[in-house]
Copies of this chain bind each other. A is one copy, B any other.
Amino acid sequence: MTKGRARGARRRPSQTDIARMAGVSQTTVSLILSGNKSGIALAESTRRRVLEAAEELGYAPDLVATRMAAARNDILGLYTFTATFPTDIGHSYYPSLVGVEEAAAAQGQDVLLFTGSVGRAVPSRPGHVLRRVRVADGCLFLGRHIPEEELEILLDEDYPFVHIGRRDELGGRIPYIGADYVVASAQLVQRLVALGHSEIRYVRERDDAPASTDREAGVLRGATAAGLSTSDLVVRADGAEITAARVRGWIDGGVSAVITEETDTGAVFTALTRALDELGVRCPEELSLAILGAPPASGWRGREIGGFTVPRREMGSAAVRLLVDLVNDTGTEPHQQLLACRPVEGDTIAELRG
């Protein structure tokens, strides 16, 4: 039976109440109140009586019931596979969220943040993602790594979702809105070369993820296009491996520019700038520094690091639009898109002298 409201509240007026008051059936009330989309003929007098009764009773439709009967709830989920809670205002989560909210508002969708997921890189209990996510009509995913098996089930079920950021797992079947790291990274290398740099190091995380893979591919492509040797170009390292001594070695060996990458932890960037601080290296006078993506919010020496910015906000918005298309099955746009990054001049990159 009915469960009874948790507390002693006045019952809200329902369509049934209106029907009783107007002397019609609840069906008719529903028809009239929902705007009669089926285009069925309704007597104007009935319409008026129903509307008046609704007004009189202060009727407001029960969204839950409406959504239940209509099998849609106009809610889009946002599930993040981030290692840390995105509390840092400079966290990449925030601009994405802004983009998501903007587009969602424009499309009349609410956004459900699965905050329960935060704090573990990948959900602990299997099935956790599935279990929560499907309460929404569709879901956006965000993170450096994904739980493949879970997403595969969603994919097989035709549950609509879009990943914010390129993904090549699951046979390339994951819909995404990504950033074109390859092109942006290649351009950055070419810019450095144009400034006279030929001894360059690209320091990236050991950890693999599409974003890192793409950046490396772009760096290699740019170097090759510029006729640079790529043998010592790429350095895979975690934070602890970037010591001052090592950086000293590069510089003494003729390296004039170092590129690093943005990651969710910012570990590589932090280790590198710490080493530069320790060595007292002037930048860009003694060494040009660039980053593929955004530096941690804490910044470095108050400088604007040269490189490029990832259009996270636009990615969020585009992801929402694509997701709504998928939910409605109306889309004509490709399910996998890369958006261009915007170059950042910065003041840590200079022409090589001497």
Point out residues on A near B: beta carbons under 8 Å: 2-10, 12, 55, 58-65, 67-73, 75, 85-87, 89, 94, 98, 101-102, 104-105, 108-116, 118-119, 127, 130-135, 153, 156-159, 327-329
Contacts of A116 in B (CB 8 A): 104-105, 108-110
Contacts of A67 in B (CB 8 A): 64, 135
Contacts of A62 in B (CB 8 A): 68, 134-135
Given contacts A62-B134, A64-B67, list 8 more A-B pairs with CB under 8 A: A2-B70, A10-B158, A58-B127, A59-B131, A61-B131, A67-B135, A105-B118, A109-B115
Complex: how many Å from CA A286 to CA B131? 62
Q: What are 8 A-B interface contacts by the 8 Å CB criterion?
A: A6-B72, A6-B158, A60-B132, A64-B134, A94-B94, A104-B113, A104-B116, A109-B115
Contacts of A70 in B (CB 8 A): 2-4
Are A60 and B130 interface neighbours, CB within 8 A?
yes
Contact check: which of B5, B60, B64 meets A68 at CB < 8 Å? Answer: B64
In the complex with contacts A60-B133, A64-B73, A98-B87, A158-B127 CB distance below 8 A: no
Contacts of A131 in B (CB 8 A): 59-61, 63
Contacts of A114 in B (CB 8 A): 110
In the complex with contacts A58-B157, A85-B105, A73-B110 CB distance below 8 A: no
The 5 closest A-B pairs by CB, nearest first: A3-B70, A63-B135, A9-B158, A7-B329, A105-B115
Contacts of A55 in B (CB 8 A): 127
Complex: how many Å from CA A290 to CA B70? 54
Residue of B nearest to A67 (CB): B64
Contacts of A127 in B (CB 8 A): 55, 58, 60
Are A101 and B72 interface neighbours, CB within 8 A?
no
Shortest C-beta distance, A125 to chain B (Å), equals 10
Shortest C-beta distance, A230 to chain B (Å), equals 38
Contacts of A327 in B (CB 8 A): 6
In the complex with contacts A58-B127, A113-B111, A158-B8, A119-B134 CB distance below 8 A: no
